[in-house]
Amino acid sequence: MTLSLQNSNKNLISELQITGSKSESNRLLILQALYPDIQIENLSNSDDTTVLKNALEKGSGVIDIHHAGTAMRFLTAYFASKEGCDVEITGSKRMTERPIRLLVDALQRMGANIEYKNEVGYPPLLIKGKKLHVDSVKLHANVSSQYVSALMLIGASLPKGLEIILEGQITSTPYILMTLEIMQHAGIKGTFKDDRIYIEPAKSIAPATIAVESDWSSASYFYSIAAITDTAEIKLSNYRKTSRQGDSCLAEIYKHFGVETEFQENSIVLKKQEGTRSSRICEDLRNSPDIAQTIAVTCLALGLECKLEGLHTLKIKETDRLQALKNEMEKFSAKVEITNDHLHLLPCKSLNENVEVETYNDHRMAMAFAPLAQKVPLSIKDADVVSKSYPDFWKDLKKLDFLVR
Ligand SMILES: O=C(O)C1=C[C@@H](OP(=O)(O)O)[C@@H](O)[C@H](O)C1
Ligand SMILES: C=C(OP(=O)(O)O)C(=O)O
C-alpha cells in the first residue's frame, strides 16, 4: 500500500493515546510466562508484541517471529532454558540477516542446546530446552542490549540466579535498565553496577499488576510534527515524567526545536510556539538509537544541519538505517554523509516535491518521513509496515489534519 500525504494546517491541536511500549510489553510477556502471577495492563497492540504472545502460547514446533528483534532474542533465551521444549525459531528474511551469535554463544556456555539451521551466527535456530545450571556468564555488550536483556529475563528462573559480566562498551544502556526496573517492579531482586549485572533467583513472586506506559519511540513522530509546524499543542496520554523508556530523552532533545513538554498527571502535552530553535543539532544517540531517523528528518524539514553519532547499531536493525536514511533524504535534494556510526546532514534549502519514500520493511522509515508532508506533498511506499510497533499510526495522523490517501 502506497499512501500520499499532505498537511497544510500550521496550527495543530489534538489529543491522542498511543499504544503501549513494545519493549516493556515484550519483557513483561516473558516474565509472565515464567511467573504467571503477573498481570499486564495496556499491553501493546503492535505486531512485535502479538508475535511474541503467539509464540509463547504455541511453545513448540516452528515459530515465526517476523521482524521482531526483541521476540527473537528474548525467546531464544526463554526456550533454551525451558526444559523439554523443542522449537525452531525463524523470522522474516531480514531477521535471518540480523546477528545473534553473541547471545547463542553465551547460552551455549551456560549449557544450552541451540543449533543454527542454516548460517552460523544467524536465525533460524533449533532449540531443545533444558535446565541451565551455570550462574555466571560473560557477554560482549556493544552490539545489541537485547542479548543482555534476554539473559536477564531468564536469570531469576535459574537455580542460583545469574551474574552477567558485560565486556566492551555498553550500548543502548537504558534498555538494560528498563529490564532491571521491570523485574524489580515484579518483585525480583537484581543489580546493575559498572559492567556487572546480578539477578537473584526467584522460584515464585507475589501477584503483581504492572501497567505498560505508552511508547516513547512512537511519540517521537509527534515531537517531529510539533517541531515542523508553526504552533502546536498535542496531548499524548499514558506517559510519565519518570519513565522506564530511554527515548523519553525526546523531551530534552526537542527543546532545541522549540518544542516544550508539559508533564501532566499521566500525560504529556507537546507545545510549540513560533520562533525559538537551534541552528544546528548534534546528538550522541548510543542510548536512543530508535529516534535517529525521526531527528534526522525533523532537521531535513527545517533546513537544519544535523550531526548524529553513536549510530553503530543502526546497520543491523530492520534495515541498514544509515544507508536507507541517506538514500531517501537525498531524494528530497539533501546532502548526507554517513560512516559506520555517524550521520551528517548538511542544511538543505529547498525540498523536492512528490518524492516516493521507500520504507525497506522498516516501520521507522515510514513514520519518520511522514511529518515531512507538512513541508512538501510526498508518498510513503508499503505504508502498512508501521504495524510492527504502531498499527494505528495513519489513523492518528488524520487526527492531526494530515490528508492520508
Ligand atoms: O530491548 C529493547 O526493547 C530494544 C533495544 C534496542 O535495540 P539494541 O539494543 O539492539 O540497540 C532498540 O533499538 C529496540 O527497538 C528495542
Ligand atoms: C530496532 C527495533 O526493533 P527490534 O530490534 O526489536 O526489531 C525498532 O523498533 O526500532
Q: What is the pLDDT of residues 339-364, one digit of tens each?
A: 999 999 999 999 999 999 999 999 99
Once rounded to an integer, what is the mean pLDDT over residues 319-340?
98
Q: Give the pLDDT band (50/70/90) at residue 111.
A: very high
Tens-place pLDDT, residues 212-255 = 999 999 999 999 999 999 999 999 999 999 999 999 999 999 99
User: Is 90 exceeded by the pLDDT of residue 75?
Assistant: yes
Q: Give the pLDDT band (50/70/90) at residue 276.
A: low
Amino acid 321: pLDDT = 98
- Does the beta carbon of 389 lie inside 6 Å of ligand 2? yes
Residue 147 CA to its chain's centroid (Å): 14
In 3D, which of 267, 270, 323, 255 has the Cα closest to residue 292?
A: 323
Amino acid 61: pLDDT = 98
CA of 289 to the centre of ligand 2 (A): 9
User: Is 90 exceeded by the pLDDT of residue 76?
Assistant: yes
Question: In this structure, what C-alpha cell is assigned to residue 268?
Answer: 504529556
DSSP letters, 293-351, are: HHHHHHHHHHT-EEEEE--TTGGGSSS-HHHHHHHHHHHTT--EEE-SSEEEEPP-S--
Task: Give ligand 1 pocket residues (Cβ under 6 A).
Answer: 23, 70, 144-146, 149, 171-172, 175, 289-290, 313
Question: For 22-211, which CATH class?
Answer: alpha beta
Greater confidence (278 vs 220) lies with 220
Amino acid 266: pLDDT = 95
Contact present, 364 and 321 (Cβ < 8 Å): yes
Residue 115 CA to its chain's centroid (Å): 27
Residue whose CA is at the smallest distance from ligand 2 atom 6 = 69
Query: Does residue 204 come out as left (phi exceeding 0), alpha (psi in the -120 to 50 range) or beta?
Result: beta
Contact present, 87 and 78 (Cβ < 8 Å): no
- Does the beta carbon of 68 lie inside 6 Å of ligand 2? yes
Question: In this structure, what C-alpha cell is assigned to residue 76?
Answer: 531464544
CA of 54 to the centre of ligand 2 (A): 18
- Please state which CATH number belongs to domain 3-20+214-404: 3.65.10.10
Topology match between the domains 3-20+214-404 and 22-211:
yes
Q: Cis before residue 347, ω within 30 degrees of 0?
A: no
User: Is 80 exceeded by the pLDDT of residue 370?
Assistant: yes
Tens-place pLDDT, residues 125-161 = 999 999 998 999 999 999 999 999 999 999 999 999 9
Domain boundaries defined on the chain:
3-20+214-404, 22-211
Question: In this structure, what C-alpha cell is assigned to residue 351?
Answer: 525540498
User: Is 70 exceeded by the pLDDT of residue 373?
Assistant: yes
pTM of the model: 0.98
- Does the beta carbon of 317 lie inside 6 Å of ligand 2? yes
User: Is 90 exceeded by the pLDDT of residue 277?
Assistant: no
